[in-house]
Structure 1
Amino acid sequence: MTHPALRLITKENYDLPAPEVMSEAHRASVRSSEQLSFSFDDVEAQNGHRVEIVAMNSLHGKRLCELIMSSKPKVALDLRHVIRFDLPGTSREQVLSYFRATHTLYLRDPIPWHNLKRRDFIAGNMVISQRLEHETVERKQSPVLLLVPKDEHVSLLTAYLNRVFSKRREGPWEISALH
């Protein structure tokens, strides 16, 4: 049995009662505490792809946990050489538990920050990281959280991603720095 979700309203039938969308039998089978689910894929596609960059050197651990819970990233890509989550106010176990709670895939991909120049990010033709481009440009999962060592790396990575997105990504995108 199908139930119309939409109907055409014309001048002739605008005063007719609306059809029953959910039968009494189906309504009785739905508990009042039951959560109905909706697909938000189209909404995500309209808003575009979101990349959030966090500089870890100046971040408090509590703020990192708040960012993870509020943005609920699909992927967290750690671009630091030294992986440390023993920030003030948190621990490695706590941060990883927040990733598990939000179903975030945590990946490591250290970038050789010390070998790269500003021009490599802004005008260079080299690929900084295959994994970075794969997770941000090629995959459709959004948002992606990027963890970088220092504040200055945020602007460099933003310039690089904007350049790469302009060449290779269709649709809108947003790159933001989280503090």
Structure 2
Amino acid sequence: MTKPQLTLVENTGGTGGRFDNGLSVQGRSIPSHQMAESSPRLNQLDLFDMNDLPELRVFIVAMDTVHGRTLHQAVLSNKPRSVIDLRFAARFDQYGSSRDMLFEYFKAVGSYYALESMPWHDLSVRDFMTEGSVQVPRLHHELVKLGKGAVMLFVPKPQHASMLTTYLNRMLSTRAEISWR
């Protein structure tokens, strides 16, 4: 009895929401209705459809809770053009990482690192909700003026990430001329 072999075939791009009629295993065709459980859902995003991705992608990282390997993987997979550190004191003491290792990853993907300290201990949620209370000039320049690409922002804690999200939603909704997420 011989077992069929699977052959790795190079993926040439997305399907645009359409699927083939079946798979081919050693010259034999298997109809797609026999593999219904393993086929992707229609509402699943296509990884190769670059037209649906926003032109500007913003990633907010709460540095007190992130593991070093997770942070390294995020840098490698998202390839941010800029990394803006908004923490009051920039420490890189996560488990599984070090300052030198993280900056090597920044260098490998061509990221620009900038420290733009904010006094998080003096700020409240209200400061981020009202117009004009908190302004981060570096963010305005990176997100509105430069626009396209991925930008990674470092904040101290998860609650600071939600505060910054409120600010970014307000700022980008009124000023951004490109699609963003």
Q: Give the TM-score normalised by structure 1.
A: 0.69
Match of 1:121 among 116, 128, 144: 128
Match of 2:176 among 169, 174, 177: 169
Cα RMSD of the aligned pairs, angstroms, is: 1.7
| Count, aligned residues | 132
* Distance in 1 between residues matched to 2:134 and 2:51, nearest whole Å: 27
Is the contact between residue 61 and residue 88 of structure 1 (CA under 8 Å) also seen in structure 2?
Answer: yes
1:53-82 Cα shifts (integer Å, max 9, x gaps)? 000001111111111001110000000111
* Distance in 2 between residues matched to 1:80 and 1:104, nearest whole Å: 18
Structure 2 unaligned runs (5+)? 1-49
Structure 1 unaligned runs (5+)? 1-42, 175-179
The 3 A distance-change label for structure 1 pair 97 and 46 is: closer
The 3 A distance-change label for structure 1 pair 110 and 44 is: farther
* Distance in 2 between residues matched to 1:84 and 1:94, nearest whole Å: 13
Look up the match of 2:79: 72
How much has 1:46 moved relative to structure 2?
Answer: 6.2
Q: Give the TM-score normalised by structure 2.
A: 0.68
1:11-48 Cα shifts (integer Å, max 9, x gaps)? xxxxxxxxxxxxxxxxxxxxxxxxxxxxxxxx579622
Q: Which has the higher contact order (CA 8 A, sep 6+)?
A: 1
Q: Which amino acid aligns with 1:52?
A: F
Is the contact between residue 55 and residue 148 of structure 2 (CA under 8 Å) also seen in structure 1?
Answer: no
Counterpart check, 1:134 vs 2:132 = no
